[in-house]
Structure formats: structure tokens, C-alpha cells
Amino acid sequence: MAIIVQRPKLKWWEQLYIPALFIGMRVTLGHLVSILSRKTKVTMQYPEEKWDEHLPEHYRGAPALVTDEHDRERCVACQLCEFICPPRAITIKPEEIPGDDKWAKVEKRPRTFDIDMIRCIYCGLCEEVCPEQAIFLRKDYAITGTSRAEMVHDKEKLYQIGGVRVGLVNKWNELK
């Protein structure tokens, strides 16, 4: 059943939008006066001033892959992040771990892991769905490149910018 919400009846001067214009002009003039009297700054001079120390705790930045404290990759190429990604920015091609390797029980590792930063919407779903905590969102908002190819981060670049995370990794747990 639909709920109908009645719009409030506007008075004749509110229909002319004149009060809204005066309110907007008052805000603009207030900013002008505060800038001229050097009380407050309204804008940030971007390349020289950055948000780094003012970023909120819940800020979601660019995704990156991380290794464990023994410099082993945490990703098991389960492809959950690839499947959950709304804009399809993540591409993973898995490969098998050779049978003679100590960690052959894991079965897979990523041969290629690419994230197209142009397509990424920084939603954080890839971080939430990762069972091995191999992908994290960095506190980075200035991701630049001179071509589209530079904006596709491959596995090596993702590990380079991701760094190391300490903690239990199910992939390397011998009891599993």
C-alpha cells in the first residue's frame, strides 16, 4: 500500500523564492567578510595542503593487497572480491600451487590480480568479503596517472603500495 505524503502549502512570498535568494546571499557575504577579515579559511590550497591528518576514521580509500609478516601473499585467489565488485574493477586469474610446494594444500594463488582504479568506486565490499584479509583500503585519495594503462594496478604494484599486515592468516595455518 502506497503512502501519500502531502507537500506543505507555500505562502505567496515563498513561491517567489526571494527569501531563499536572500539567505544564499547572506551566506556568501558572510564568507566574503570572514575571508577579508582573515578570521577563517573556506578553501584548502590542495597540493600544498592535504587532508591527511583530518581524514575521518571511516574513510575508504584505494584498495591494495597486503602480505603477511613473512612476506607471503595472503590472497588465495578465491575471487570473491572479483564477484562482489559492483563496477567489475577487479580481475583475477588464479593458478595452482605446484604439488611439491609446502603450501600445496592451499591449491590456488593469483597469477594476475588487477584493479582498474578508474572503474573502482571505493565501496569497500572487496575488503569486507575477503576471507584471508588480503585486501585493504588505504587512506589515499590522490591516485593519479597520465594514461588509462597507468591506472590499472597490477599485482606487484598492489603489493608494493599495500605493505605488510600482521595477524593470523588461515591460508598458512597448518591446522586447517
Higher pLDDT, 85 or 18: 85
Average pLDDT, the chain: 85
Report the candidate in 79, 175, 92 with the shortest Cα–Cα distance to residue 130.
79
d(CA 41, CA 44): 8
Higher pLDDT, 14 or 157: 157
Instruction: Tell me the per-residue pLDDT of 107-117, one tens digit each, with 9 for 90 and over.
Output: 788 999 999 99
pLDDT band at 1 (very low <50, low <70, confident <90, very high): confident
pLDDT at 105 over 80: no
The mean pLDDT of 4-15, rounded to a whole number, is 85
The mean pLDDT of 136-156, rounded to a whole number, is 89
Predicted pLDDT at 171: 55
The mean pLDDT of 21-36, rounded to a whole number, is 91
pLDDT band at 176 (very low <50, low <70, confident <90, very high): very low
Higher pLDDT, 88 or 15: 88
| CA dist list (Å): 4 to 1, 7, 9, 11, 18 | 10, 10, 15, 22, 29
Q: Is 53 exposed, middle or buried (0-12, 13-18, 19+ CB in 10 A)?
A: exposed
Higher pLDDT, 139 or 147: 147
For the chain, give the percent of residues with pLDDT over 70.
Answer: 91
The mean pLDDT of 148-153, rounded to a whole number, is 94
As its CATH architecture, domain 54-172 has 2-Layer Sandwich (3.30)
pLDDT band at 132 (very low <50, low <70, confident <90, very high): confident
